[in-house]
A = this chain, B = another copy of it.
Amino acid sequence: MDEYINPLKSRYASKKMLYIFSPKFKYTTWRKLWYNLALVQKELGIDISNKQLDKLSKHIENIDFEIVKKYEEKFQHEVMAHLYAYADLAGDNARKILHLGVTSAYLTDNTDLIQIKEALLIIKNNLITFIKSLKEFSTKYKNLTTLAYTHLQKAQLTTLGKRSSLWLQSLIFDFEELNFILSNMCLRGVKGTVGNQNSFNELFSSNFEKVKNLDISLAKKMGFNKVYKVTSQIYDRKFDTSILNFLSNLSQSAHKITNDIRFMQHLEEIEEHFEKNQIGSSAMPYKRNPIYSERVASLAKFIMSLQSSGGFIAATQWLERTLDDSACKRINIPQAFLAADAILILLNKIFDNIRVNKTIIEKHVKKEMPFILTEDILMKATKNGGDRQILHEKIRIYSMQVRENLYSKTTENDLIKLILNDESFKLTPKDIDEVLNPNENIGFASLQVEDFIKETVDPILEKNKKY
């Protein structure tokens, strides 16, 4: 309790995501990279015995961090420390075959990519779950008429399901970006000190096909289908930028969605689940605050801020690599994933138990109907031969007049009456009645939702069934 505890770790992120970025995962991956390198080198003719490989294979998981620490104090070089510790376990000869032709970046850069891939897959999984949840929500409420707001001012009518279909669409954009990234992902592979695979010239007698083979075979053993054709010492840091961009984009969707929920909870139209014993405020016991939505918004801001570091690093990498990426990467990439993980957990939690207050929603719609009808009245009047611009102007003046009265006195909204009395509209009470039903004024909201889900969302869910 005497040191800073990061709430991402202690409170928000899942065990699964925390593990991906743990020392355990990282250093066993290093050992896998050493082991598989030796394995592939043997396959390509280098003299490495099966016995040596067996020993290496056997000791992948049991890392003695105390021994590593001692070596690190000696060398002040993390990779060397782990290399010696691993070689000690695998027998003296191991040092000869381990790390053959490679440099630290072989370990660190490939591991970074492996961690990122695993983390993306967790995000993908949780994102699909949330997309399903929002699809259900949108379907369920596709017909529930509600006030739409533009400029945060009451505008016309929409449906709750239509509004949530827009959130869903934002997430579909994010999902497509995620797939774009995953399908283009490459391992850094076996490239040597400055990327030229020079150290393999000697080992493989200048045979480029063999070296390419080494590269792709290693990648496949580590779970990748592709390997960069060219790298410097490191993979292009633009890839990290693309990850931070994606996580920021996802956060923006989450921020927008929860902002909308916070407004609707303000309107009492919707409510986050509230535990029976939960205390909303120590001083205001009657309060029910949308704290999960607020937390999502807060974590989103954190992730969005990290984004700029990606570009700054990529833009200032000098020549074949500089190390001014390392400490920053090690802090912000894991945390961006941990926070994104937390956001999806929270979003799923919110929608698992969200409460929709239909009574309140209906009350709000009803109160605003006279104003809302003006667009329909305008359309009908235009159809009947009126000049849209003139009538628009008239309605504007009547509306302002009515609004003034509502502000200062306790009158009723008599806009409809004023319009009916104005002959230039050429409207009868029957015409008005035809447009008066709120459910008639949501346009094609419901059909749009159906169409969008059928044509866009369902095919994606079908293709990603396994998640």
Contact = CB atoms under 8 A, between A and B. Distances in A.
A196 B158 contact: yes
A317 interface: yes
Given A99-B388, A157-B194, A260-B318, A328 B301 contact: yes
A307 B403 CA distance: 41
B326 A95 contact: no
A100 B137 CA distance: 33
Contacts of A294: 151, 322-324, 326
A357 B407 contact: yes
Contacts of A256: 314-317
Interface in A431-467: 435, 440-445, 447-449, 451-452, 455-456
Contacts of A23: 1, 5
Interface string A212-243: 10000000000000001111110010110110
Contact of A194 (B155, B170, B177): B155
Number of copies: 4
Interface stretch (A32-40, A51-59, A285-293, A421-429): A285-293
Contacts of A233: 150, 155
Nearest to A305: B309
Contacts of A141: none
A412 interface: no
Contacts of A24: 1-2
A350 interface: no
Contacts of A150: 193-194, 232-233, 281, 284, 287, 289, 319-322
Contacts of A380: 202
A149 B22 CA distance: 31
A336 to B, nearest CB: 10
10 contacts: A77-B278, A100-B388, A150-B281, A196-B442, A197-B443, A197-B444, A199-B443, A252-B311, A283-B378, A285-B374
